[in-house]
Amino acid sequence: MTPVAVLIGPPGAGKTTVGRRLATLLDVSFDDTDAIIERREARAIADIFVDDGEPYFREVERSVVLDAIDAHGGVLALGGGAALDSLVQEALSDHAVVFLDVGIADAAKRVGFDQSRPLLSVNPRASWVALMNARRPVYERLARHRVDTAGREVDDIADEIVRLLAGGSES
């Protein structure tokens, strides 16, 4: 199997929310690699970071993402940092990757920069900007399509992705 669409982007871009709606529109299943990790590890991602550190989390994430790319036939949302891994990048090369882009104002409204986001726990706004500056080139390189989610409704975003996947014009 191969995913119909793989959603990438920073925290607060709407990967999970848009992914669920997109899967409904396409009549396929949805999964989120962060949720898969939490099920597999039986604990929250923030707890994995605290208990075992980021290197351990990234190893688990790589394994989960690579398995999901091979096995999932619907819409797949990746955690914000998953696309930075070189093996994940290679695995994504032949897939319909959609970069959900967002600015800090909308991201802050959506995620609230709370403690469940371990990479954003210290000075969350500055951390998000630095994180996005580092990740944007990777997201843009991997994506077949870029969709700006700022200030938009979930249905509008999902509808645009459906058009793009069907070969409609780029946004």
**Residue 48: count of CB within 10 angstroms of its CB:** 19
Any known ligand binding at 33? no
Paired sense of beta strands 97-101 and 75-77, if any: unpaired
Any known ligand binding at 16? yes
Any known ligand binding at 13? yes
Any known ligand binding at 149? no
**Residue 81: count of CB within 10 angstroms of its CB:** 21
Any known ligand binding at 40? no
Any known ligand binding at 20? no
Any known ligand binding at 117? yes
Task: Give the strand order in the sheet containing 30-32.
Answer: 30-32, 75-77, 5-8, 97-101, 145-148
Of the candidates 83, 122, 100, 137, the residue with the CA atom closest to the CA atom of residue 21 = 100
| C-alpha to C-alpha distance for 32 and 65, rounded to whole angstroms | 9
171 Cβ contact list (under 8 Å, min separation 6) = 145, 146, 147, 148, 160, 164
Any known ligand binding at 141? no
Any known ligand binding at 19? no
Any known ligand binding at 14? yes
| C-alpha to C-alpha distance for 87 and 118, rounded to whole angstroms | 23
Question: Residues at the annotated binding site for substrate?
Answer: 34, 58, 80, 135
Q: Which residues are annotated as a binding site for Mg(2+)?
A: 16
Residue ranges at the known binding site: 12-17, 34, 58, 80, 117, 135, 152
Binding site members for ATP: 12-17, 117, 152
